[in-house]
Amino acid sequence: MLRYFFRRVVQLIPVFFITTFLIFLVVRIIPGDPIQAQFGERRIPENLRAAYIERYHFNEPLWKQYFLYMRDVLSFDLGDSVASQRPINDIFREAIPRSATLAGLSVFFVALFSIPMGIFSARHKNSKADNSFLVITLIMLAIPPFVLGLLAQLFFGLRWNLFPISGVGEGLYSYILPALVISTSLMAIESRLMRTTLLDTFREDYLRTARAKGLTEGRVFRIHALRNALIPIVTVLGIDFGALLGGTIVTESVFNIPGIGFQITRAIVQRDTTIITGISIFLVMAYLLINLLVDMIYAWLDPRIRYD
């Protein structure tokens, strides 16, 4: 297992540098002047422009800009925002915990509800309950998140006064309603995937072999069917968490949560290339680490994977 872990880490290193260079390149070649964007229509004094250029190394070749930037990144220094002049580390310290809390709670709700729903539906295939499940999940997928967010605020926040509808002033309780809104469509996808995967697993030969050996139906299901069916679910949950960590722009806007989505939206409007690059590289690192964690869970669920 340890050898498999180190092999996966070594594979991620070139992926990290290639991906971050492409991100850095794309952000730098976007048309427009990031310095002028901070001043609107006002004329920038030449000495101030020169100071900006020197501070952010805009006068250096692109490869050198990348080298200097990654040197700081690897020492956990993402530099300063062009727009606000605040250290990006400070901005991240405020935004990342909010988005991470929202993403983690959303994935928790998805796993909590979708896996039992998918199992129940698969074990009652073609029953009235299964048909009702398919209809309900279609409805969950069809409702746009911003509509669901507004309805949730109206009923659960204003009419029934069960949850706060704006900001994060009440701690973890403030994230429950937006997390439920985000997780609704994901629950539908995950539960349908769980149902389909289990139905495919039920037809596998190794289940018939396990029954022929005299194992009880409950043990066959828990040890052989469910464990193998969970492998694609773990993959999608990991991808979901990585995507949500990047900030759910619509939901964060509806519920006024100043997380990563809020920061990257403002950075794009202000053309703040340092924040755009910093957030993008953070997301790359998050995806790679989540992918590594998913691989480790794979190897635990199915030991054959670590020997491939």
Question: Which residue matches tokens 């994935």?
Answer: 107
Look at residue 125 and give its three-state secondary structure: coil
Identify the pLDDT of residue 301: 65
Identify the pLDDT of residue 105: 92
**Mean local confidence (pLDDT), 273-284:** 82
Residue 24 pLDDT greater than 80, yes or no: yes
**Mean local confidence (pLDDT), 2-13:** 76
Asked whether residue 32 is assigned to any structural domain, the reply reads no
Residue 306 pLDDT greater than 60, yes or no: no
Q: Give the integer Cα–Cα distance in Å for 227 and 209.
A: 16
Asked whether residue 153 is assigned to any structural domain, the reply reads yes
What pLDDT band is residue 37 in, cutting at 50, 70 and 90? low
Asked whether residue 235 is assigned to any structural domain, the reply reads yes
Measured over the CA atoms of residue 63, residue 65, residue 68 and residue 73, the dihedral's sign is: negative
What pLDDT band is residue 108 in, cutting at 50, 70 and 90? very high
65-79, 83-97, 171-185, 292-306, range with greatest mean pLDDT? 171-185
Centroid of chain to Cα 151: 24
* Lowest pLDDT segment from 35-44, 127-136, 182-191: 35-44
* Lowest pLDDT segment from 133-137, 197-201, 225-229: 225-229
CATH number for the domain including 110? Answer: 1.10.3720.10
Identify the pLDDT of residue 241: 83
Contact criterion met (CB below 8 Å) for 69 and 230: no
Q: Give the integer Cα–Cα distance in Å for 91 and 240.
A: 24
Asked whether residue 158 is assigned to any structural domain, the reply reads yes
What pLDDT band is residue 273 in, cutting at 50, 70 and 90? confident
Tokens read off for 202? 């039920």
Identify the pLDDT of residue 219: 80
pTM: 0.77
The overall average pLDDT reported for the chain is 81
Residue-wise pLDDT for 194-220, tens only, equals 998 888 888 877 777 877 887 777 787
Asked whether residue 173 is assigned to any structural domain, the reply reads yes
Asked whether residue 178 is assigned to any structural domain, the reply reads yes
Question: What single-letter amino acid sits at 58?
Answer: F
Tokens read off for 152? 């949730």
Identify the pLDDT of residue 191: 92
Q: Give the integer Cα–Cα distance in Å for 69 and 274.
A: 10
**Mean local confidence (pLDDT), 60-74:** 82
**Within a 10 A sphere around the Cβ of 247, how many other Cβ atoms?**
26
**Mean local confidence (pLDDT), 242-257:** 76
* Buried-state track 188-198, b at ≥16 Cβ within 10 A, e below 16: bbbbbbbbebb
Domain count for the chain: 1
Residue 264 pLDDT greater than 60, yes or no: yes
Asked whether residue 133 is assigned to any structural domain, the reply reads yes
Residue 186 pLDDT greater than 80, yes or no: yes
Identify the pLDDT of residue 113: 92
Asked whether residue 122 is assigned to any structural domain, the reply reads yes
Residue-wise pLDDT for 109-134, tens only, equals 999 999 999 999 988 888 888 899 98
Identify the pLDDT of residue 276: 82
**Structural domain span for residue 157:** 96-307
**Percent share of the chain, pLDDT over 70:** 89
